[in-house]
Chain A
């Protein structure tokens, strides 16, 4: 396959960026999208040009590092991570636009690499259960109903890639935040910190400069792990409940 790529190039966080056009040839349909970019970069290095910087690591769809907007879609046309997207999803002769995540809370580091540390700070605000090492009760002491365990798992699957933010017209981080809130709040182990967790995480999310949620639903459509849109509704319920409970104290 022969392709034309239009790629966002930006030297560093302070520099201005622009789209640059490249041609790549000899692309196999079995290549992953990132292997196609490897091919581009090998050529650029040999020509003495700066290769395109992009985040990637596990290349099996679980670490959450890869983060490209492809033809306007976060992670491209398939519902998966960029690293699991294969070139068979494109046609010979296609022109492909490749951009970084676009959100004011995710500043560009270089080219297609962005800074997602805001997500870490949301987790630090309360996305955990306080369980000091060694102090844990026997695992079977508290049975967890299977539906609750499954609900927790379904939300715990979030890989923190940020596609939800990139896809949202408002740049909101509600799906990411709600996934963690729901994972922990449904479990009996998470109950003691149930209120502070949701209040603190939502407050941190706002502080990071993510946009507001208008329930557009683009986030859930872009999510490679299928975190459902209802996750946001569940978190809103948790938040309301927590506000009322805390104000009564």
Chain B
């Protein structure tokens, strides 16, 4: 007998709105068929955008440029601080500047394959097509990409591909792309086309007569809860990796916007698809508040190894060459150190589980640059990776030019998210989700340098085209205001929730609950998942939730700057989302991409997919806290890339 809520299966999702016909004509066709809003009428339409990362920033700037009235929100003190800024390695684009055999079709193919055949072909192909325009757009904005001496753009290779198509700005590509979007956004703010609300956090979405009509948000300085109304709402609030407490996400990145949207009717797709990034700095102790990524680009020149013998605790430089196991190069000779992230992470876990891990607790593997320094010289290595090496040294107090880096996998990205159709619209009409907040393009595993590509594709190009169609077809009839009964209800619910958090006055801090939930999720819903482990987690989560509402302690009041209240309110949503993640992971009894079920593996330990049974995206419908959700399956049709067992050997 189970003590947790199971699930029921509902109607499948049949229409994704992707046009029929040859895949390379679908996006053109959709754009042509989409209705337009007369430029003179656009001013009359208000669009809310939540978030100012690559997706939200580029969407806000572009919609404002088109003439819409944009009202935009971010919880940070400035839109420039969204966590896209921390992306290091680069952005993919099928420019084929290297003449190395790249093409739109190859980028499409690599992404579908890298995602382990759990992404929607039409969306991925569109992404590959648009990738080319993104680079043009960013260069025009003044993004200082790395260049060669002839003045042309430089590229590098990334995991899971055999061409060099990743454009970069040293180890700070995300920063430079985000500042480009932020500057475009700033131009529109100055022009009066965007009403920007920094330090304001969305707490709920307002759905009236089945359409998204606005949001409830809290001013984080004064604590004032207000309503904002619009003709459409765009969520660009990022992923939910922080459900694990320790992740490479920013401390305040959270799932509240998408989870509240889910509660109001938006389906949540593939919540269990989370990406564990192979190259992060290992944790040092219980005080750890977050994990820091070391860019995947390091795998271009660094070699990953562990000692051949168990428990070999000699310093790395004393371990002779023939006693080292360069396990990625050994197992995957053609991709070597550049296998996709899920495979590299799992391989690291395996060697550590065998007792061959290095560093404190044996939770680490070496990423060694000795050969690269010998081959290229220290100067060249410094020019390529200098800032990453500095960062590593600051955090660990070890010099990676002298001793190999120690790395270990950590939660980094969530491929799952709100279910969206080809137009990036959720199942709530008028509610759109872009960037990491949606689920559509990366399947069960995202390739490196593809998140920046997707965020900007959605924000600069896809959403601005598709939202026109919705706005043109759905002229809003009645004004909605604070006096509308639905709005009053949403407002009251939000205020009650915050008041309850403040009134419990228990004996445990928000962080202590977040940490407990995170450890549980890492153990049972992390790199390797089992039926029994997931069932344990599913029994434990409702207990933590119950304890949370009994013992939480939030100091201060709601009418002031109160960071503890912000945290506690986000944990409320993590405690529900975590349950759905585990349920999704339990129901998907196959392995695919980042979702590895120990029961489903090939004889040599690779993920074994079950295409006949699970060749679908799982879109979950909310039915109530602790209630059995309803599963809607979107069958994935592969017309162009035939699903095979991924092989990187």
Contacts and interface: CB of A to CB of B under 8 A. Distances in A.
Interface string A182-219: 01100101100000000000000000000000000000
Contact of A35 (B170, B287, B556): B287
Interface string B317-350: 0000000000000000000000000000000000
A109 B76 CA distance: 13
Interface residues of B, number: 78
Contacts of B437: none
A133 B81 contact: no
B135 A129 contact: no
A22 interface: no
B145 to A, nearest CB: 7
B145 A35 contact: no
Interface string B140-184: 111011111111110000000000000001101001100100111
A183 B179 CA distance: 11
A200 to B, nearest CB: 10
Interface stretch (A56-64, A69-77, A233-241): A56-64
A243 interface: no
Nearest to A143: B151
A138 B134 CA distance: 10
Nearest to A36: B287
A21 B140 CA distance: 52
A86 B183 CA distance: 32
Contacts of A134: 133, 137, 460-461
Contact of B285 (A28, A51, A153): A28
Nearest to B289: A35
B509 interface: yes
Given A51-B564, A53-B561, A109-B561, A28 B461 contact: no
Contacts of A51: 555, 563-564
Interface string A127-150: 111111111111110111110010
Q: Which of B135, B179, B189, B395 has the most CB of A within 10 A?
A: B179
B148 A146 contact: yes
Nearest to B176: A156
A28 B148 CA distance: 44
Interface residues of A, number: 77
B498 interface: no
B405 to A, nearest CB: 15
Interface in B206-257: 221, 248, 250-252
Contacts of A190: 142
Interface stretch (A91-99, A115-123, A163-171): A115-123
A51 B555 CA distance: 8
A58 B86 contact: yes
A110 B86 contact: no
Nearest to A13: B221
A223 interface: no
A60 B61 contact: no
B186 A120 contact: yes
B140 A189 contact: yes
A133 B464 contact: yes
B139 A139 contact: yes
Given A12-B560, A42-B511, A30 B189 contact: no
A232 interface: no
Given A31-B287, A38-B511, A187-B144, A58 B250 contact: yes
B284 interface: yes
Contacts of A105: none
B356 interface: no
A129 B461 contact: no
A88 interface: yes
A153 B62 contact: no
A240 B294 CA distance: 42
Nearest to B283: A30
Given A32-B289, A64-B81, A149-B147, A59 B555 contact: no
B564 A34 contact: no
A28 B394 CA distance: 15
Interface of A: 11-12, 28, 30-32, 34-35, 38-39, 42, 44-46, 48-51, 53, 55-65, 78, 80, 84, 86, 88, 109-110, 113, 115-117, 119-120, 123-125, 127-140, 142-146, 149, 152-153, 156-157, 159-160, 183-184, 187, 189-190
21 contacts: A45-B564, A50-B555, A53-B563, A59-B290, A60-B293, A62-B172, A110-B221, A110-B561, A113-B77, A113-B561, A120-B186, A128-B142, A133-B61, A133-B461, A134-B461, A136-B133, A138-B136, A140-B97, A146-B147, A152-B144, A156-B176
Given A56-B251, A80-B394, A156-B176, 13 more contacts: A35-B289, A38-B287, A39-B287, A50-B555, A51-B564, A61-B391, A88-B397, A128-B183, A133-B461, A139-B135, A144-B151, A153-B146, A189-B141
When A and B form their complex, which 9 residue pairs have the shortest distance between CB atoms, in order from nearest? A143-B151, A128-B183, A136-B140, A131-B140, A124-B190, A153-B144, A136-B136, A152-B144, A139-B139
Interface of B: 58, 61-62, 65, 76-81, 83, 85-86, 95, 97, 133, 135-137, 139-142, 144-153, 169-170, 172, 175-176, 179, 182-184, 186-187, 189-190, 198, 221, 248, 250-252, 284-285, 287-290, 292-293, 391, 394-395, 397, 460-461, 464, 507, 509, 511-512, 553, 555-556, 560-561, 563-564
